[in-house]
Amino acid sequence: MDCIFCKIAQKQAPAQIAYEDDEFIAFHDIRPKAPLHLLLVPKKHIPSLQESQEGDAELLGKLLLRAQKVAQEKQVKGYKLAMNVGKEGGQEIDHIHLHLLAQ
Ligand code: AMP
Ligand code: ZN
The CATH number for 39's domain is 3.30.428.10
Domain assignment of residue 101, yes or no? no
In a domain, 102, yes or no: no
pLDDT for res 1: 73
Residue 81 located in a structural domain? yes
The per-residue pLDDT for 28 is 98
Please write the tens of the pLDDT for every residue from 39-87: 999 999 999 999 999 999 999 999 999 999 999 999 999 999 999 999 9
d(CA 6, CA 3): 5
**Catalytic residue IDs:** 97
Residue 31 inside a domain? The answer is yes
| C-beta 77 within 6 A of ligand 1 | no
| Secondary structure class of 67 (helix, strand, coil) | helix
* Terminal Cα distance for the chain, rounded: 35
Number of domains in the chain: 1
Residue 39 lies in a domain: yes
Asked if residue 73 belongs to a domain, the reply is yes
Residue 52 is part of which domain span?
Answer: 4-96
Closest CA to 64 of 45, 85, 79: 79
**For ligand 1, what atom is nearest to the CA of residue 33?**
10
| pTM strictly above 0.95 | yes
